[in-house]
Chain A
Amino acid sequence: MSNITEKSHAELAAAFNKDEPRVDWHDETLWWVRAKRDIAAHKIPEWELLRETASQIKNNVLSNLSGYLEQFEANAIKNGITVHWAADAAEHNKIIHTLLNERGINRMVKSKSMLTEECHLNEYLKEHGVDVIDSDLGERIVQLAGEPPSHIVLPCIHKKKEEIGDIFHEHLGSAKGESDPKILTETARQHLREVFLTRRAALTGVNFAIAETGEIVICTNEGNADMGAHLAEIHIASMGIEKIIPERKHLGVFLRLLTRSATGQPITTYSSHFKKPQQGKEIHIVIVDNGRSIQLGREDFRNSLKCIRCGACMNTCPVYRKSGGHSYHTAIAGPIGSILAPNLDMKKYADLPFASTLCGSCSNVCPVKIDIHDQLYKWRQVIVKEGYSPTAKTIAMKAMAFTLSSPALYRSGGKVARLAFKYAPFAVNNQLNPWYKHREMPKAPEQSFGEWYSKRKEGQQ
């Protein structure tokens, strides 16, 4: 599902903020997930060493990515897996459609893959007559609702159980008004079991691809990736080029970090290692670039390719928690998504690096130590330099720079502002002033520091 919108993060967040109790609930739910992450992390005395080690492994990967990709491909082929390469989203989608078409398949089951969201695969296949059913419960819910996921790990975190009950009543025939998570989950289990048993093709994402062995690792709690892949004739796995890790033993670092950072669990229920196809069946891996090699060349932003998609930066982010995932109008929301998206389309996503307080909490929880808030700050500079910053901000900044460069203007400007605060508060305390939206404007002092200082000097003389 794509976010078909031209609205900015601020506008979409304003819409989300209209329902205050829901915002509070969203905020608290995600903060609870963040708190679980802390408890899990603090149980591991070597946690910081794990983070540092993971970061260094990824650093090594990025410094030799082409070599590792070739090694991975060679080993995967040796294992009987077919490897495809896609330069962009269009090629990725076409490869998958061709694989299905060649086998006369027009129905596919899919487990979670943010890459396919990035590539808008579902819409593409739908246009080409292929029915895709998402099998992760959260993804199935948003798919039935006609929405994109709002979080990479918790796709329907923005939905209340009563709304999910209504969706299931309409599409899956659950009782009207039923909102018990247990009963709704059971309804989805029955519905999707039938899907797993009847689909000849299954698509999954990839959490880790191991160069040394040519195997891929997929992590789920529900078991949906395995149910789909093991029952289908053809298993297609889509992966970005940055999913590579050098050796199998490095999983011993990443699997300790991933789920603790994501949900506070010590590990997902299933960590599945696919090395060879089952007898008589096929595994195809599609390796996708889609702008990643460009990001690799941006020295200030290449660290974003270390991301293992745990979602910890979203759960901790005060802006994400209070604006909701959909306000980011891109497949991957939150702080990390705001670094990745401008690489794909600087103009369209120029607003995202500004959707942050730069508090740094994201960088503190990142399991691979990406300098997320520093990169957001750097993107702002790039975006302004390239001329993509929002018009109002550009004008305001230019006016500010002009005022600050002239002492006379600065003094008179300050005086006017103080007078306005005092005698015409309505001129600043209104909706035209973006600063006023969520704050009371301060009381203006009687005089500026400059005025006070010169008077004080006069008094001394």
Chain B
Amino acid sequence: MSRDKILAAVKSNQFNRAELPDLEILNTLTATNEPLIQQYTAIASAGGSFVYEVPDLEAIKTILHKEFKPGVKIISGIQGLDDYTFAGDVTHELSHSFADVELTILQSNLGVAENGALWLTETQMNVRVLPFISQHLAVIISKDDLVPTMSQAYAKIGNADYGYGAFISGPSKTADIEQSLVIGAHGPRSLSVFILT
């Protein structure tokens, strides 16, 4: 059986045990001392995201009403944004049925200032394909949920159990043609991040 053959070959060729390094120093370093919101906004904007600081859900509604025409299919995973189809009500539907979704609005509880990434688990996505198949994506996060670097991000995730989770740091993009950056590869053509202050 290949399994045992491979494991035996690996075992006989691996060398004396080298110890794991200590990650403690990295956990305490924070890249810069700049306030997290400013750092997050600068980096996420450079990566093609639209970042808004908003006081409440009402402010988000106003912006979304301006950006998206009535009548397009919008799915929201947020309680309190009731104008839209509630994601929790459609989780049983076939993933393919979301192909015509124009905008999905989801919640994140962890954002990373050094790279603009937002952590979303399957629970927050409701359906795994939603944040990918939508033409546009909006994510709401509280300013208190920002951390400086990926070190602190994984400290916060800890040993959480999830079926699937992803860091999403911007709109889908590619530079495969002559290194020209094009926004909107296969996933969302835009990412709007609403930071609740």
Contact = CB atoms under 8 A, between A and B. Distances in A.
Interface of A: 29, 32-33, 43-46, 49-50, 52-53, 56-57, 59-60, 62-66, 69-70, 85-87, 91, 135-138, 141, 154-157, 159-161, 164, 181-182, 184-186, 189, 192-193, 196-197, 213, 221-224, 226-227, 230-231, 241, 246, 248-253, 255-256, 263, 265-278, 287, 289, 293-294, 296-297, 299, 302
A299 B43 CA distance: 42
Interface stretch (B50-58, B72-80, B153-161): B153-161
B167 interface: yes
Interface centre among A184, A226, A255 (most CB of B within 10 A): A226
B168 interface: yes
A266 B182 contact: no
Contacts of A161: 177-178, 180
B147 to A, nearest CB: 10
A267 B117 contact: yes
By DSSP majority rule, is chain A's interface helix, strand, loop, or mixed? Answer: helix
Given A224-B186, A270-B132, 14 more contacts: A56-B21, A57-B20, A62-B18, A69-B6, A70-B7, A138-B174, A182-B180, A227-B132, A249-B23, A252-B149, A267-B112, A269-B173, A294-B13, A297-B12
B21 A57 contact: yes
Given A273-B166, A293-B13, A266 B176 contact: no
Contact of B163 (A159, A164, A276): A276
B73 to A, nearest CB: 16
Given A46-B29, A226-B129, A230-B129, A181 B21 contact: no
Contacts of A70: 7
B164 A65 contact: no
B13 A224 contact: no
A266 B114 contact: yes
Contacts of B165: 272-273, 275
Interface string B163-197: 11111111111111111101011111000000000
A50 B25 CA distance: 10
A227 B43 CA distance: 25
30 contacts: A43-B31, A56-B18, A60-B21, A62-B14, A63-B17, A63-B18, A65-B10, A66-B11, A137-B176, A137-B185, A160-B178, A164-B177, A182-B182, A185-B184, A213-B159, A222-B172, A223-B185, A224-B185, A226-B166, A251-B154, A252-B155, A255-B150, A255-B167, A270-B166, A270-B167, A273-B164, A275-B163, A278-B164, A293-B6, A299-B15
Nearest to A298: B13
Contact of B153 (A250, A252, A276): A252
B186 A135 contact: yes
